[in-house]
Amino acid sequence: MAVLPVVKYGDSILRKKVNKVDINEIGQLTNLIDDMFDTMYEEEGIGLAANQVGVNLNLMIIDVTHLDEYKDLEPIVFINTEVLQENGSIELEEGCLSIPEIRATIPRAESIVIRYIDELGQSNTTEFNGMFCRVILHELDHLNGKFFTDYLSSAKRKLVHSKLLEIAEDGYPSTGVVL
Return residues touching Ni ion (CB under 5 A).
96, 179
Shortest distance, position 72 Cβ to Ni ion, whole Å? 25
Identity of the residue, 114 or 179, whose beta carbon is nearer to Ni ion in the bound complex: 179
88: left (phi over 0), alpha (psi -120 to 50) or beta: left
Report d(CA 13, CA 7) in Å as an integer. 8
Burial class (CB in 10 A: 0-12, 13-18, 19+), 85: exposed
Selected catalytic residue, list 42, 43, 44, 139: 139
Identity of the residue, 114 or 136, whose beta carbon is nearer to Ni ion in the bound complex: 136
Identity of the residue, 96 or 133, whose beta carbon is nearer to Ni ion in the bound complex: 96
Q: 69 an active-site residue?
A: no
Torsion, Cα 111 115 118 121, to 10 degrees, reads 170
Shortest distance, position 98 Cβ to Ni ion, whole Å? 5
Shortest distance, position 104 Cβ to Ni ion, whole Å? 12
Q: What residues are labeled active site?
A: 139
